[in-house]
Homo-oligomer: A and B are copies of this chain.
Amino acid sequence: MELNSSKKGTLVIISGFSGAGKGTVVNELIKKDNFSLSISATTRAPREGDVDGVSYFFKTKEEFEKMIEEDALIEYASYVGNYYGTPKAYVLEQLDKGNNVILEIEMQGAMKIKEKFPDAITVFITPQSFNELERRLRKRGTETEDKIKDRLNRAKEECSFMGKYDYIVINEKLEKCVEDVYNIIYAQSFRKDKSLELIECITNDFNSVK
C-alpha cells in the first residue's frame, strides 16, 4: 500500500518587499524534490537564451487573449505593452503529480489567486528591519537612488498586506528562512484535505479485516 503516493502538491504563493530576498529563497526551494516553479506565459518576444517552456511559455497576442477568454490563466496583467500571466494547466498538472508549485508574485495578484485557490498557502517574506531592507537594496548596487527610494516607500505601504498572508517568515539568515518556508510547505502534506485518499485507504484496510 503506497500510502502517500496519491497526495496532491501544495500551491505556494510567495510575496514580500522588494529586496526581502524572495527570489533567492525560491531558487533554493525549487532545488528540492517535488518542487516546481510556476512558469509564466508572455507575449513578449523571446530573448537570447530564453527557452520556451522553461523561461516562459511564449504566446502570440491572439493566443494569450484566447487563454484569457477560456479562463486558462490563474492571473494575468499587462506590462509595457505585453501580457504576462500564470497558465492554469501547468500548475494543476504539477499539483496532480504531487509537486509543490511555487509562485512568486506581487501582493494584489497573490490575494486574487488565494481567492480562486483557497487551498493554496500564502507566505510573506520580510527582512528583520527597514534598515536591513535598505542595506540589501543598496548592496545590489544596480539601481539609482531614486529607484531605491521608490522601493523603500512602496515597502512602507505594503506593510498593510502582511496581515493578509497565511504565514509570515523573517529572512534574517537565508538558510534558516529557506528551512522555515520548506517546513511550512512540508507540513501542508499532512493536512486532512490532502489526506482524503489516505483516510479512505486506512478505513478500507481496517474494515477489510474480520
> A130–B209 Cα gap in the complex (Å)?
8
Interface mask (A168-198 → B, CB under 8 Å = 1, otherwise 0): 1110000000001001101100111001101
A93 at interface by CB-CB < 8 Å: no
A191 to B190, CA, bound (A): 16
A187's contact among B184, B192, B207, B208, by CB below 8 Å, is which? B184
Residue among B131, B184, B190, B207 making CB contact with A169, cutoff 8 Å: B190
Contact status of A162 and B199, CB under 8 A, knowing A155-B206, A156-B206, A180-B190: yes
Q: Is the CB of A209 within 8 A of B167?
A: no
Total residues of chain A contacting the partner, CB 8 A: 43
Tell me if A77 counts as interface (CB < 8 A to partner B). no
Is A129's beta carbon under 8 Å from chain B?
yes
- CA–CA, A133 to B198, complex, Å? 16
A62 within 8 A of B: no
Q: Does A83 contact B (CB under 8 A)?
A: no
Question: A126 CA to B123 CA in the complex, in Å?
Answer: 30
Chain A 118-139 residues near chain B, CB threshold 8 A: 123, 126, 128-131, 133-134
